[in-house]
Amino acid sequence: MAKSYVHEARRRVGPKRQRIRPVIERLAAEHQDAAIALTFRSELELLVSVMLSAQTTDVNVNRVTERLFEKYRKPEDYLAVEPEELERDIFATGFYRQKARWLRGTMRMLLDDYDGEVPDTLEELVKLPGVARKTANVVASELGRPQGIVVDTHVRRLSQRLGLTKQDDPVKIERDLVKLVPREDWGRFPHLLIWHGRRVCIARRPRCDDCVVVDLCPSSRV
Ligand code: SF4
């Protein structure tokens, strides 16, 4: 896109501070079912599901955890079997050796430092083996304590297209978003962008004709 065109597009839609609320409201009305796609019944299952979801799809994780969570109900259960058995049980999620190592390390720490409970602050969550900032953000947010904004591939693409950030690095994008998005929306905001990204603002071919924020988007092709 030529620079003058970008400038013109940004001028047309107005400053991002004025657009953010209508963007959130319209996406929330459009994607009322926007929520995490992982299936879990407890905080521990949430943590395990998010850890397993690295480099694979939520559908795939749900398929594996359906059986996994029948067998592994508490942190001790993950340590009671041979590492190879846990590896086999999570094999289909990919990177199973690494993930099994991280799961065991995390369960050990939960038992040693948190009485077997899942902590809910970002600082504590990122200390768990294999729990990076994105995983911690997802878990904290689902526990009702969002302390940042989850930036995955959809959030990154849509934030850029909507002109909410000029950054490319997820950590820097998150820094821009937390300054812009009202705190009470930190939890649902990524879900809205993820679902909009899956259904409408598709990576290769955004469906701008069907987009509810078309007049608020500097990248609109309409
Ligand atoms: S107008 Fe087009 S580019 Fe902008 S958010 Fe909608 S679908 Fe994506």
Section 119-139 average pLDDT:
94
Whether residue 159 has its Cβ less than 6 Å from ligand 1 = no
Catalytic site positions: 134, 152
How distant is the alpha carbon of residue 112 from its chain centre? 28
Residue 11: what pLDDT? 83
pLDDT level of residue 2 (50, 70, 90 thresholds): low
- Listed in order, strand segments (DSSP E) in the chain are none
Cα 193 to ligand 1 centre (Å): 11
Residue 1: what pLDDT? 52
pLDDT digits (tens, 9 = 90+) for 181-192: 999 999 999 999
Cα 141 to ligand 1 centre (Å): 26
Which residues, other chains included, contact 189 with Cβ-Cβ below 8 Å and sequence gap of 6+?
24, 149, 177, 181
pLDDT digits (tens, 9 = 90+) for 130-182: 999 989 999 999 999 999 999 999 999 999 999 999 999 999 999 999 999 99
Secondary structure (DSSP) of 148-206: S----HHHHHHHHHTTS----SHHHHHHHHHHHS-GGGTTHHHHHHHHHHHHTS-SSS-
pLDDT digits (tens, 9 = 90+) for 26-38: 999 999 999 999 9
Q: What share of the chain is helix, strand, coil (3-state, %, to 5)?
A: 65, 0, 35
Cα 95 to ligand 1 centre (Å): 34
Ligand 1 atom closest to Cα of 206?
Answer: 7
Torsion of CA 39, 204, 160, 172, to 10 degrees: 60
Which residues, other chains included, contact 160 with Cβ-Cβ below 8 Å and sequence gap of 6+?
166, 168, 173
Pocket mutation for ligand 1, best pick of 10, 159, 213, 215 (most atoms within 8 Å of C-beta): 213
pLDDT level of residue 12 (50, 70, 90 thresholds): confident
pLDDT level of residue 3 (50, 70, 90 thresholds): low
Whether residue 68 has its Cβ less than 6 Å from ligand 1 = no
Asked if residues 90 and 64 have their Cβ atoms less than 8 Å apart, the reply is: yes
- CA 154 to CA 156: how far, in whole Å? 5
Angstrom distances, CA of residue 193 to CA of 24, 61, 79? 9, 21, 37
